[in-house]
Amino acid sequence: MRQGVWTVKLKGVRRQKRGDRVVKYHRASGIRLPDLPETHPDFIAAWARCELG
């Protein structure tokens, strides 16, 4: 790993390989999360909404 580069993996995200793509779901609720990088603000907002219920 290069210095200053971090990998973020949010808790409670299920990653499922579908062909050449990875589809992400909120583990507890089963809701599909947006097809965006996990560091994107819209992805984090969707994940946070799922965490709150």
Give me the phi and psi of 50, to 5 degrees please.
-65, -40
Task: Tell me the per-residue pLDDT of 35-51, one tens digit each, with 9 for 90 and over.
Answer: 999 889 999 999 999 99
Whether 39 is covered by a domain: the verdict is yes
Whole-angstrom distance between the N-terminal and C-terminal Cα of the chain?
A: 35
Q: Is residue 26 in some structural domain? A: yes
For the chain, the domain total comes to 1
Q: What is the pTM of this model?
A: 0.79
Kindly state whether residue 4 falls inside one of the protein's structural domains. no
Determine, yes or no, domain membership for 24.
yes
Per the structure, the complete domain to which residue 24 belongs is given by: 13-52
User: What gap in Å lies between CA 16 and CA 24, rounded to an integer?
Assistant: 6
CB atoms within 10 A of CB 27: 13
HSE of 32, CA atoms in CB hemisphere, 13 A: 6
- Kindly report, residue by residue over 14-35, the tens digit of the pLDDT: 999 999 999 999 999 999 999 9
Query: Which residue, 16, 39, 17, is CA-closest to 25?
Result: 16
